[in-house]
Amino acid sequence: MITIDGVRARVKDGGTYEAIVAEALERGQTDPAAAHVFTATYAEDALTAARAADAAGNDPDRPLAGLPITIKDLFDVAGETTLSGSIVRKGLPAAETDAVVVARLREAGAALTGRTNMVEYALGGVGLNPHYGTPRNPADPAVARVPGGSSSGAAVSVGLGLAVGAVGSDTAGSVRIPAALCGLVGFKPTQARVPLTGAIELARSLDSIGPIANSVTDCLTLDAVLAGAPLDVASRPLSGMRFAAAQTVVLDDIDPHVAAAYERALRTLADAGATIEEVPLTQIGEIAEINQPSGLSPIECWAAHGDLVRSREADVDHRVSQRMKLGDGISVADYLAIQDRRARWIVETEKALASFDAVLAPTVPMVAPPIADLEASDEAYFEVNRLMLRNPFFVNWLDGCAFSVPCQAPGELPVGLMIAGPRDADARIAEVALAAEAALG
């Protein structure tokens, strides 16, 4: 496990950022476990940033100085065509400027080591990519399991120790799902917190940008740079906190391993003094009906990319094009009706959550399944994809914020505990996540 404090400690003890970044780059190129993690690497730029950090010493104005960081393959980098995990975008005009988040990472001194692989157009929660390969989940050396998506390579880059943190996007869980399946921490902020400028969109109403790292603290350090300002986060004990343990939908079809880890996590929080109330939260069950016909994600994705995909459909992952095409032919009236229903639903749901510090649920209801099983069966793939997206999507639909923190016992496959709240509750949810992480160990 590689953390910001760990890197800083190595440098304080006589190491150099250049050596640490060089190690990360070399392992990314030579370790068989790192296959398919990157779609592009930036060795010279990363080493230059590391050398600058070594020369400058401790600089509070550059909080990521010399740290190896990865970026998802949907963020613009000046002079490059942004592929978004696809081959049909090859040959499109290069970006003229960096995405806002990429520019902010550079200004903070980050050593950007590479672009990470992802589900094509970010449209999927499993992590498969037939064009660039599927990164293998590092949590199980014995079985090649899915990493989760769509920020698949982002999570694996952190899980393998190739980076202290990764920047991904989250439209229906695409930061939190791979974080949960790979045993990491993922943070989905309120959408407006981090600018989307320069990120290839999936669904502009739901897209958000967030970090994956090995701790809540490291996620908050990255988030402060991405957002342009830190959250005002205080240290709070679990004693006195009040949580809603959601019951509707989120516990359906949960596998025994996840159920046991989740129940153990709830007991741990309760033993530390938190009050946990089982709350129906029936609003979660209303989303499927509100989000008809077809759903905001396919409608907005098709509007953004449909012309290109239609012209090159044979070159698009059929699992992606099949979902994207659900948005074809939807009327403006139907689209606006979804938006109006969602707006009313958000107000009602925020009222239902007003008395709680956070909502708790399993991030996803299963551990990572084998890659081969899902590559072999579209039926299995779409069922797993549905289950992967179901729980975290609630937060995007709410325009809320959420962490996924690991809650499995040592030696078990990773399980994520989702800690969620409404929009602009980011600081409070971070306080809960810090306290929960400490209690869960």
**Phi and psi dihedrals of 167, rounded to 5?**
-110, 125
Question: Which has the closest alpha carbon to 226: 237, 218, 215, 238?
Answer: 218
State yes or no: is 151 an active-site residue.
no
- Rounded Cα distance, 441 and 433, in Å: 12
Pairing relationship of beta strands 416-421 and 358-362 according to DSSP bridges: antiparallel
For residues 84 and 101, give the distance between their C-alpha atoms in angstroms, rounded to a whole number: 16
- Catalytic residue, chosen from 72, 86, 152, 205, is 72
The structure tokens 């960081």 sit at 69
Active site residue 72: yes
* 108: number of Cβ within 10 Å: 20
12 is catalytic: no
Active-site residue among 84, 151, 157, 174? Answer: 174
Residue in 84, 86, 150, 321 annotated catalytic: 150
**Active-site positions?**
72, 150, 174
